[in-house]
Structure 1
Amino acid sequence: MFKLIAGPCVIENEEMVLNIAKEIKDITNELGIEYYFKASFDKANRTSIESFRGPGLDEGLRILKKVKEKYNLKIVTDIHEPYQANIVSEVVDIIQIPAFLCRQTDLLIAAAKTGKLINVKKAQFLAPWDMRNVVNKLEESGTQKIMLCERGTTFGYNTLVVDMTSILEMQKLGYPVIFDATHSVQKPGGKGDATGGNREYVEYLAKAALAVGAEGLFMEVHPDPDNAKSDGPNMVSLNQLKSLLIKLTRVYKAVQ
């Protein structure tokens, strides 16, 4: 069964995070999906300086550790600075490298040296074959525990497009490729002081990615996306997740 990395964009509060984790775990257990809980302790690349960033490293990791222990879940979170790698590795199972930072050599080296699985998002400005250099940096730093993630490509102003052949191109690098179904429908900076998006297209892009052969999906999920503190326009509503995953499971099984 495919892997699903899912959770809220950012940790807004402990109660919400625990509730989302439990509900997604229940859904994925029922459907037989391999599930990893994801949330960010800090959104360091928000459009506006006024935007909510999260609880910070210490408090964020405390909450993620509680999710891990209470629900026996594997945890994913992203880092933005090299010093965070070792600290985060004490809690998480997958360290995620944000798309904007995927060429930051020191960040990649620090993540690789933790020995954790590294999920690297392809930058919006890179061709899929350019990820060879990212992979080389990680391999030369001592790891082959790598996943690559397609999340759309910049197309003019405030717009992303997805070339599904990107998944096939990155698979040639020898590592699993997952598809970020929610960030791929973003309108970066499209609201002036925040990012917009079209969540109505998440289902269709996710189906296409699995049909092409992606090994997993990344989705940001929230109980009330319209009032989320980050990435609301492109997040999947928690109450619609089960029906969506049922459809996606059918596609995955058909392809396999």
Structure 2
Amino acid sequence: MSSGTPVVFVHGLWIHASAWQGWVERYRAAGYDPIAPGWPGDAETVAETRRNSAAVSDRGLDEITASYVRVINGLDAKPVVIGHSFGGLCAQKLLADGHAAAAVAIDPGQIKGVKPVPIAQIRSGLPVLSKPGNKKRAVALTRKQFRFAFGNAIPQSESDELFERWTIPGPGRPLFEASSANFSKNSPAAVDTRKNDRGPLLITAGGRDHTVPQSVAKAAYRLYRHSTATTDFQVFPDRGHSLVFDHGWPEIAEATLTWLKRQGI
């Protein structure tokens, strides 16, 4: 491992960047130089972001990814990019486009070419996709919706606590872009999965994830079968979509650190 290697954490839809704080501290202790910037329009705190939800509305995958390119361009070296959910989709885009030395896509939003659409995933996206007008709006989850989409594999009390602590309104556009990706010639959810001259990629899946079911993450992994670059897949059987910020996050963090060490990064 190279001491001081930059790491950029990318959060997913509905979760504030500050939920990565434990990861930032753990990666710093391991010798990396980690940061966790928010999406365009995100305020510094959960409370501020909730008060100004209009600032995050109508932000799409290209704009979100471009904001991280700007962050990366200010670093001294290509970083490791670690993303969760739609952050995992962005991590794959950044890696394929040459902006990252390696990437970890944790239960990533579906990229173009992924075909499985499980019922649980459809239900998780309904708070946004049920209303076409939400494409240009910011949408917040209810406690009940969060419980199904994120907190189904943890106790109700913990799910409620995480909802209060970390959730923010999220732009509807990324969900519409991902759900229509296979019908769009120039989808922002497209990733060059055949590229050979990229850094290593780890894709993970939670066996109880409703928002990005294991079959969806597995299908994304299979799209990379024509690339000679390192692409690995790891399943956490008993974990749901809250796996990066619930009580079990250290297990996931350690697994990613172990994988990076195997890559010599």
Q: TM-score range by the shorter chain?
A: 0.3 to 0.5
Q: Which has the higher contact order (CA 8 A, sep 6+)?
A: 2
Q: TM-score scaled by structure 1?
A: 0.35
Q: TM-score, normalised by structure 2?
A: 0.34
